[in-house]
């Protein structure tokens, strides 16, 4: 049997793709099609925003031309796949002539003619307009957000507003095409979507105003500090037919999503314990973060991240939660939380004035997953077992500041009319807000 393998993104599957698949199929007896993962179309250098990987796999399967479909997850996988599947021919479009000659060491490489006059890029330009995003709040995170938008297709930051005009001017100066709005209302009127990057206590009012005016909202984490407000905002977004998404960058990173998927597949058995930590020592840089009047402290500043793997893997129906905090000037400089579930126990540690090891450990009945510090910037993790010969290590690329992944998902939700993302579901954002509310109200709270 002669095996042929080919790869592609297959975003907006069109006749050109089908023609290439037919030509590849004709070269042998068995066709393997590799579909590039959701997060990065490495060949174009842009994040895909139209069809997610499951939709693209289904589209390729529907052609009836693929005997087997695999997911391309990492650089260098082509060599691994050729050897793993005992491939005879690697086939790819002629616009990559010469690029894959290095694979001749492993199999025959054939460049197939492309269909003239049609491409995914052309279709993308015809079918999707550019989403204009306005940034409210021109602080540290906004300065990272704007450059990250440039590597996501079909999105552009066009406006900025900050109550500190100098901050708006600085951001606009660094990005010459950005218009400085004179008011938040002007910004909302000028854009399709709003990125809320202001201090925590303003998230609710700013998000609500944008949603009421029919604008999509990407709001920094924590979304709000009250469960009722979170429910209200998501309900309003759906009523208005727009997307509201919490901007938790870890939730959208490729490695973290793969980690969650593999743990849920049962690789380490039933999860019975999760321990996650995050801490920072910023010294004199602390201003808002340690200001009681601005909802400062480690729980509100960092809590969304260690709570993420707990909620993703154990669910939203916990039995109880207890907080233990070291307080200073009205804010928690260290907090430890313990969450009890019907079938497990979880804990998290947070520090803005206390340093702790920032790792993630997920314990199961067959083994455990270990993500080293800083686990929230996940690019590497291990699965460890009693028999060390079974241990597995996984490496992934973390690009730039990592915000591009949440931007990609946000824009994808807009184009595909999805009101919730599987990476951080509405119910998960709501339960995170509820946990924050319990901390605000000092429920099951003990000062240490």
Distance CA 100, CA 117 (A): 24
Helix (H) or strand (E) run with residue 57 in it: helix 53-62
Strand bridging mode 193-196 / 131-136: parallel
Burial pattern 10-37, b for ≥16 Cβ within 10 A else e, equals bbbbbebbbbbbebbbebbebbbbbbbb
For the record, the structure tokens of 167 come out as: 């901050």
CA dihedral of residues 134, 398, 70, 269 (deg, nearest 10): -110
Q: What is the pTM of this model?
A: 0.82
Distance CA 375, CA 322 (A): 23
Q: What is the DSSP string of 384-448?
A: EESSGGG-EEEE----TTSTHHHHHHHHHHHHTT-SSBTTB-HHHHHHHHHHHHHHHTTTTEEE-
pLDDT at res. 105: 94
The count of other CB atoms within 10 Å of the CB of residue 223 is 30
3-state secondary structure of 189: helix
pLDDT at res. 42: 47
Strand ranges across the sheet with 30-36? 68-72, 30-36, 3-8, 89-93, 108-112
Distance CA 191, CA 135 (A): 10
Distance CA 234, CA 208 (A): 10
Closest CA to 222 of 100, 311, 94, 128: 311
pLDDT at res. 283: 63
- In the chain the domains, ranked by start, together with CATH numbers, are 3-119 (3.40.50.620), 124-250 (3.40.50.720), 254-397 (3.30.360.10)
The label of the residue with tokens 């001017």 reads 169
205 prior amide bond cis, ω within 30: no
Q: What is the DSSP letter of 339?
A: E
The whole-number mean pLDDT for each consecutive block of 10 residues of the chain, a chain of 448 residues, reads 92 85 95 81 54 83 95 85 96 92 95 73 60 95 94 91 94 86 97 97 98 98 98 98 97 92 94 96 72 92 97 97 95 97 97 92 98 93 96 87 92 89 96 98 96
């Amino acid at each position: 049997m002669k095996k042929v393998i080919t790869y592609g993104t297959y975003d907006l599957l069109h006749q050109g793709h089908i023609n290439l698949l037919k030509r590849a199929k004709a070269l042998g007896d068995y066709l393997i099609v590799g579909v590039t993962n959701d997060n990065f179309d490495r060949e174009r250098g842009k994040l895909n925003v139209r069809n997610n990987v499951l939709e693209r796999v289904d589209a390729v399967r529907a052609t009836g031309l693929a005997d087997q479909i695999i997911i391309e997850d990492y650089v260098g996988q082509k060599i691994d796949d050729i050897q793993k599947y005992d491939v005879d021919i690697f086939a790819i479009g002629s616009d990559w002539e010469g690029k894959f000659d290095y694979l001749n060491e492993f199999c025959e490489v054939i460049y197939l003619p492309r269909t003239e006059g049609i491409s995914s890029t052309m279709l993308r330009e015809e079918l999707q307009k550019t989403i204009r995003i306005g940034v409210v709040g021109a602080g540290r995170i906004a300065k990272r957000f704007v450059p990250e938008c440039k590597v996501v297709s079909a999105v552009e930051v066009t406006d900025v507003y900050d109550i500190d005009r100098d901050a708006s001017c600085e951001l606009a100066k660094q990005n010459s095409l950005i218009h400085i709005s004179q008011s938040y209302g002007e910004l909302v009127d000028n854009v399709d979507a709003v990125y809320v990057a202001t201090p925590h206590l303003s998230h609710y009012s700013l998000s609500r105003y944008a949603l009421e005016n029919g604008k999509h909202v990407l709001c920094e984490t924590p979304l709000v500090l009250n469960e009722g407000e979170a429910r209200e905002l998501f309900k309003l977004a759906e009523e208005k037919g727009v997307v509201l998404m919490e901007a938790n960058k870890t939730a959208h990173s490729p490695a973290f999503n793969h980690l969650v998927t593999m743990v849920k597949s049962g690789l380490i058995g039933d999860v019975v314990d999760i321990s996650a930590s995050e801490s920072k020592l910023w010294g004199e840089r602390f201003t808002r973060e340690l200001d009681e009047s601005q909802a400062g402290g480690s729980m509100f500043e960092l809590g969304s991240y260690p709570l993420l793997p707990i909620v993703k893997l154990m669910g939203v129906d916990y039995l109880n939660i207890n907080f233990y905090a070291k307080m200073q000037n009205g804010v928690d400089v260290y907090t430890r939380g313990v969450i009890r579930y019907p079938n497990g126990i979880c804990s998290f540690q947070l520090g803005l004035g206390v340093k702790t090891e920032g790792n993630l450990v997920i314990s199961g009945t067959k083994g455990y997953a270990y993500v080293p510090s800083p686990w929230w910037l996940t690019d590497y993790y291990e699965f460890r077992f009693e028999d060390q010969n079974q241990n597995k290590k996984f490496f992934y690329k973390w690009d730039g500041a990592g915000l591009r992944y949440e931007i990609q998902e946000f824009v994808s939700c807009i184009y595909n009319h999805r009101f919730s993302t599987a990476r951080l579901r509405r119910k998960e954002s709501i339960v995170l807000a509820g946990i924050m509310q319990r901390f605000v109200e000092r429920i099951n709270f003990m000062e240490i």
